């Protein structure tokens, strides 16, 4: 009898555990089911495709094939992602969950067969050609709609070529950081592109900044150290100081503004925060405050410890172009009715009059300094940067800005690692990509 009782208790105990387990599973299913569906691995999707904005198929989930064209595959590898998921920000993996719906009764159902990216693969190809094998990032977006038309990170690789993947994994120098989407995930010393922030801070906090007058003799001493320019710029007003990108003048302006205020303006510019690009967070930049005049001067010139993400820089350019508030960059296209992403906007805390004055100054940079000729008829407003990175390494070349036009409302950024002179090297890449973007 006692034996029977023990057995009954034993069975009851396990039945109880089973019921509890099933209740827990049911609870988790209700609570987390939608999350599981939205985060299913790319490998579990067996139909559908990823296309660019023009319907060019970049990846087919059913066959597992990338586009048959070599240049298309290489130029879009960071946007689409690789088979192993080594590129963490690739659409193949990141947006896989968006292809499905979740229902408590019926479970996962297919929502769409097509994931349409906002990028134009032909524009990415053109950007890759213009980069000529150099490492860096190129981005271009419509600051009215937020659609990113061009997103390139170099070096690229062919997701179909195991020898190239092997070379990356074995640390080959030509492929350093090939799995990283530099446009979204990297930060660089901004060099003189940061003078836009310093100028904005000066316009709003230094009352007589428009009367600025300064004679550049090639260097200014701060104790034992000095801020230097590549040449003597002579007498400059604010417009010339920005166009000539005079370090000596901007070191002085930065000291008048003060590093706490500069930091506030870098923060307001969005350069110290992540940009949320269709759910992908960009790397946040940094700006160190300092009470030391020489450091304060260099930080206002975009050196010292300043770091900026290319996508955040591009977004800032869009905001200046649009008078303070612009569409936030996004990678999914709402044409075709697949998803209608919630429209989002990014704002900088600068007055509209400050943005208008910056636009004037940046237009002057192009017309009187970089040369309008390379941009055809396009009303391009821009700022170059030649960011010193220390040691024997050549500086990083930057070129960033926007087209001041309702017909072509594009903001852009180009960074070439160790590329040399910003306006010449990165400016040339920007000119080629802008021409292609406006010809589309
Ligand atoms: Zn100078």
Give 356 Cα–ligand 1 centroid separation in angstroms. Answer: 25
At 337 the pLDDT is 45
Give 200 Cα–ligand 1 centroid separation in angstroms. Answer: 19
Q: Give per-residue pLDDT as tens, 367-424.
A: 999 999 999 999 999 999 999 998 889 999 999 999 999 999 999 999 999 999 989 9
The predicted model gives 86-91 an average pLDDT of 94
At 14 the pLDDT is 78
Give 195 Cα–ligand 1 centroid separation in angstroms. Answer: 13
| pLDDT confidence tier of residue 100, bands split at 50, 70 and 90 | low
pTM of the model: 0.90
Give 165 Cα–ligand 1 centroid separation in angstroms. Answer: 46
Q: Is pLDDT at 44 greater than 90 in this prediction?
A: no
At 97 the pLDDT is 72
> What is the rounded distance in angstroms from the CA atom of residue 307 to the CA atom of residue 64?
38
> What is the rounded distance in angstroms from the CA atom of residue 242 to the CA atom of residue 203?
13
At 23 the pLDDT is 78
Judged by average pLDDT, the poorest of 40-44, 64-68, 287-291 is: 40-44
pLDDT above 90 as % of the chain: 77
At 39 the pLDDT is 57
| pLDDT confidence tier of residue 241, bands split at 50, 70 and 90 | very high
Give 397 Cα–ligand 1 centroid separation in angstroms. Answer: 19
At 251 the pLDDT is 97
Instruction: Give the contacts of 371 (CB within 8 A, at least 6 positions apart).
Output: none
Q: Give per-residue pLDDT as tens, 183-213.
A: 999 999 999 999 999 999 999 999 999 999 9
Give 248 Cα–ligand 1 centroid separation in angstroms. Answer: 5
DSSP annotation string for 265-327: HHHHTTTTS--EETTEEPPP-B----S-HHHHHHHHTT-TT-BB-HHHHHHHHHHHHTTSEEE
> What is the rounded distance in angstroms from the CA atom of residue 89 to the CA atom of residue 78?
7
Q: For residue 194, what are the CA distances in angstroms to 145, 198, 332, 383, 398?
A: 25, 7, 29, 9, 10
Give 199 Cα–ligand 1 centroid separation in angstroms. Answer: 15
Give 192 Cα–ligand 1 centroid separation in angstroms. Answer: 12
- If one compares 414 and 24, the residue with the highest pLDDT of the two is 414
Give 8 Cα–ligand 1 centroid separation in angstroms. Answer: 92
Q: Give per-residue pLDDT as tens, 264-278.
A: 999 999 999 999 998
Instruction: Kindly state the tokens that stand for 289.
Output: 């405050």
- The helix/strand/coil state of 188 is strand
Q: Is pLDDT at 1 greater than 50 in this prediction?
A: yes
Q: Is pLDDT at 437 greater than 70 in this prediction?
A: yes
Give 212 Cα–ligand 1 centroid separation in angstroms. Answer: 14
Q: Is pLDDT at 43 greater than 90 in this prediction?
A: no
Give 250 Cα–ligand 1 centroid separation in angstroms. Answer: 9
Q: Give per-residue pLDDT as tens, 305-364.
A: 999 999 999 999 999 999 999 999 999 886 554 555 667 899 999 999 999 999 999 999
Local structure of residue 187 (DSSP, 8 states): -
Give 241 Cα–ligand 1 centroid separation in angstroms. Answer: 7
Average pLDDT, the chain: 91
Give 40 Cα–ligand 1 centroid separation in angstroms. Answer: 55
Give 77 Cα–ligand 1 centroid separation in angstroms. Answer: 42
- The helix/strand/coil state of 261 is helix
The predicted model gives 226-246 an average pLDDT of 97
Give 339 Cα–ligand 1 centroid separation in angstroms. Answer: 51
At 33 the pLDDT is 60
Give 371 Cα–ligand 1 centroid separation in angstroms. Answer: 20
Directed axis angle between helix 259-268 and helix 247-257, to 10°?
100
Local structure of residue 376 (DSSP, 8 states): T
- If one compares 368 and 25, the residue with the highest pLDDT of the two is 368
Give 298 Cα–ligand 1 centroid separation in angstroms. Answer: 13
What domains lie within the chain, and their CATH numbers? 185-439 (3.40.710.10)
**How does strand 114-116 pair with strand 49-51?**
parallel
Give 227 Cα–ligand 1 centroid separation in angstroms. Answer: 9
Q: Is pLDDT at 67 greater than 60 in this prediction?
A: yes
Instruction: Give the contacts of 230 (CB within 8 A, at least 6 positions apart).
Output: none
């Amino acid at each position: 009898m006692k034996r029977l009782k023990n057995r009954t208790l034993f069975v009851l105990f396990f039945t109880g555990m089973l019921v509890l387990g099933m209740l827990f599973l049911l609870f988790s299913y209700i609570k987390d089911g939608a999350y599981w569906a939205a985060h299913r691995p790319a490998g579990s999707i067996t139909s559908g495709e990823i296309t660019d904005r023009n319907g060019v198929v970049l990846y087919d989930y059913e066959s597992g094939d990338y586009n048959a064209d070599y240049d298309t595959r290489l130029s879009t590898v960071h946007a689409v992602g690789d088979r192993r998921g080594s590129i963490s920000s690739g659409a193949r993996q990141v947006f896989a969950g968006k292809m499905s719906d979740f229902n408590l009764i019926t479970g996962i159902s297919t929502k769409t067969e097509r994931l349409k990216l906002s990028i134009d693969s032909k524009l990415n190809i053109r950007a890759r050609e213009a980069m000529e094998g150099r490492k860096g990032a190129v981005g271009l977006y419509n600051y009215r709609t937020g659609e990113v038309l061009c997103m390139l990170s170099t070096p690229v690789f062919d997701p179909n070529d195991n020898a190239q993947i092997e070379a990356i994994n074995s640390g080959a120098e030509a492929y350093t950081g090939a799995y990283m989407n530099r446009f979204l995930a990297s930060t660089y010393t901004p060099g003189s592109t940061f003078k836009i922030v310093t100028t904005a801070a000066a316009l709003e906090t230094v009352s007589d900044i428009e009367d600025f007058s300064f004679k550049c003799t090639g260097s200014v001493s701060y104790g034992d150290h000095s801020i230097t320019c590549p040449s003597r710029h002579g007498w400059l007003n604010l417009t010339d100081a920005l166009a000539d990108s005079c370090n000596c003048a901007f070191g002085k302006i930065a000291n008048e503004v003060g590093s706490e205020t500069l930091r506030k303006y870098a923060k307001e510019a969005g350069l110290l925060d992540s940009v949320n690009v269709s759910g992908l967070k960009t790397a946040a930049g940094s700006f160190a405050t300092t009470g030391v005049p020489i450091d304060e001067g260099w930080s206002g010139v975009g050196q010292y410890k300043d770091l900026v993400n290319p996508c955040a820089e591009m977004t800032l350019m869009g905001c200046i172009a649009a008078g303070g508030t612009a569409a936030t960059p996004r990678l999914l296209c709402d044409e075709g009715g697949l998803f209608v992403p919630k429209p989002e906007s990014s704002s900088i805390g600068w007055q509209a009059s400050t943005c208008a004055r910056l636009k004037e100054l940046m237009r002057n940079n192009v017309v009187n300094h970089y040369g309008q000729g390379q941009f055809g008829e396009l009303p391009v407003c821009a700022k170059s940067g030649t960011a010193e990175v220390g040691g024997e390494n050549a500086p990083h070349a930057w070129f960033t800005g926007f087209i001041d036009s309702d017909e072509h409302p594009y903001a852009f950024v180009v960074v070439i690692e160790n590329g040399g002179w910003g306006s010449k090297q990165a400016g040339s890449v920007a000119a080629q990509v802008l021409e292609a973007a406006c010809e589309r």
